[in-house]
Structure 1
Amino acid sequence: MIGTGLVEMDLDRELDTLARRHRAAGGVGLQVLNFVGGQAENLLERLPDKVKSRLEDATTRALELALRAAAQSRGVVPDQKGWLNTLLATAMGAAGGAGGLPGALAELPVTTTVLLRAIQGVAAEYGFDPDDSDVQKECLLVFGSAGPLAGDDGADMAFLSARVTLTGTTVHGLIARIAPRLATVMGQKLATQTIPIIGAAAGAATNYAYTSYYQEMAHVHFGLKRLSDRTGRPREALVADLRGALARLT
Structure 2
Amino acid sequence: MEILDSPSADLDVEAALDALARRYRGAGGPGLQLLNLIGGQAENLLDRLPAAIRSQLDTRTEAALHVALRAASHSRRSVRDQPGWLNTAVTTAMGAAGGFGGLPTALAELPVTTTVLLRVIQGIATEHGFDPEEEGVKFDCIRVFAAAGPLEADDGTDLAFISTRMIVTGQAVQSLIVRVAPRLATVLGQKLAAQTVPVLGAVAGAATNYAYTSYYQEMAHVHFGLRRLAIHADQDHAELIEGLRERVEDPPVKRAG
Same fold judged by TM-score > 0.5? Answer: yes
RMSD of aligned C-alpha atoms?
Answer: 1.6
Residue matched to 2:122:
120
Give the CA deviation at 1:164.
3.4
Query: Does structure 1 conserve the Cα–Cα contact (< 8 Å) formed by 2:146 and 2:158?
Result: no
Amino acid at match of 1:197: V
Q: Could you tell me whether the CA contact under 8 Å between 1:142 and 1:159 is conserved in 2?
A: no
Alpha-carbon shift at residue 168 of structure 1 (Å):
5.5
Worse-matched range after superposition: 154-163 or 195-204: 154-163
Which one of 195, 198, 208 corresponds to residue 193 of structure 1?
195
Name the counterpart of 1:26: 28
TM-score w.r.t. structure 2 length? 0.91
User: What one-letter code is carried by the residue in structure 2 that aligns with 1:204?
Assistant: A
What residue in structure 2 maps to residue 234 of structure 1?
236
Q: Report SS of the residue matched to 1:248.
A: coil
Residue matched to 2:137? 135
C-alpha contact (below 8 Å) 1:145/1:158 kept by paired residues:
no
Query: TM-score under structure 1 normalisation?
Result: 0.93
1:165 Cα offset (Å): 1.6
Alignment of 1:18-167 (within 5 A): 18-152=20-154, 156-167=158-169
Residue-by-residue CA offset, 1:190-233 (whole Å, 9 max, x unaligned): 00000001000000000000000000000000000011112232
Q: Once the 2 structures are TM-superposed, how far is the Cα of residue 158 of structure 1 from its aligned partner?
A: 1.6
Equivalent residues of 1:148, 1:154 under 8 A apart: no
Match of 2:4 in 1: none
Residue deviations 1:139-183 (CA, integer Å, cap 9, x gap): 000000111111337874222212232036432111000001000
CA positional deviation for 1:244: 2.3
Shift of 1:71: 0.8
Quick check: 232-241 or 69-78, which moved more? Answer: 232-241
Contact 2:49 2:193 in 1 (8 A): yes
Tell me how far apart the structure 2 counterparts of residues 175 and 146 of structure 1 sit (CA, whole Å).
15
Aligned with 1:248 (options 246, 251, 255): 251
Task: Give the letter aligned to residue 161 of structure 1.
Answer: S
* Aligned 8 A contact 1:62 1:112 in 2: yes
Match of 2:221 among 213, 219, 222: 219
154-163 or 66-75, which moves further after superposition? 154-163
Residue-by-residue CA offset, 1:44-86 (whole Å, 9 max, x unaligned): 0000000000011110111011011001100100001011110
User: Counterparts of 2:127 and 2:158 in 1: how far apart (Å)?
Assistant: 24
- Mind listing any 5+ residue stretches in structure 2 that lack a counterpart? 1-8
Distance in 1 of aligned mates of 2:156 and 2:100: 28
Q: Is the 8 A contact 1:89 1:207 kept in 2?
A: yes
Alpha-carbon distance between aligned partners in 1 of 2:136 and 2:206, rounded to the nearest angstrom = 32
**Could you tell me which residue of structure 1 aligns to residue 211 of structure 2?**
209
Alignment partner, residue 3 of structure 1: none
Opposite residue 132 of structure 2, the aligned amino acid is: P
The 1:153/1:213 distance shift into structure 2, 3 A limit, reads farther
Contact kept in structure 2, 1:67 and 1:116, CA below 8 Å: yes
Relative to total residues, which structure has the larger helix share, 1 or 2? 1
Q: What is the CA–CA distance in structure 1 between the aligned matches of 2:108 and 2:30, rounded to whole Å?
A: 24
Q: Which amino acid aligns with 2:115?
A: T
Identity %: 61
Distance in 1 (alpha carbons) for counterparts of 2:104 and 2:156: 29
Query: Quick one: distance in 1 between partners of 2:157 and 2:167?
Result: 24
The CA distance in 1 between the partners of 2:252 and 2:47, in whole Å, is: 35
